[in-house]
Amino acid sequence: MASKKQRTFISFEIDPETREAFSQQLKSEGKTVSAVLKQFIENYLSSAEQPKSPQDLTEVIKRLEEVEKKVGIENKRLVGESAA
């Protein structure tokens, strides 16, 4: 006989209005609370496993602009040397 899968339960507090809105949304999509929350947890865990970038997009853009500026200056210098 196959062993029964072990399970545990999670409970948390939520205000009644949010619970009702959530229930209505689930009903309209034909989903269950368990299915949606299990998927959320799986997505959350898989995103946590991916390496995080130490910088945000704004910092990356700023650094790219600095590199482009330096490349442009170097390009002008090289073009000036070849013209001379």
Both 45 and 70 in a single domain?
A: no
Task: Evaluate whether 33 touches 26 at the Cβ level (below 8 Å).
Answer: yes
Dist. CA 69–CA 79, nearest whole Å: 15
Is the pLDDT confidence value at 56 over 80? no
Greater confidence, 36 or 71?
Answer: 36
Both 34 and 44 in a single domain?
A: yes
Both 57 and 34 in a single domain?
A: no
pLDDT band at 42 (very low <50, low <70, confident <90, very high): very high
Dist. CA 44–CA 47, nearest whole Å: 5
Dist. CA 59–CA 66, nearest whole Å: 11
pLDDT band at 23 (very low <50, low <70, confident <90, very high): very high
Task: Flag whether 8 is in a domain.
Answer: no
pLDDT band at 84 (very low <50, low <70, confident <90, very high): low
Both 20 and 44 in a single domain?
A: yes
Task: Evaluate whether 32 touches 26 at the Cβ level (below 8 Å).
Answer: yes
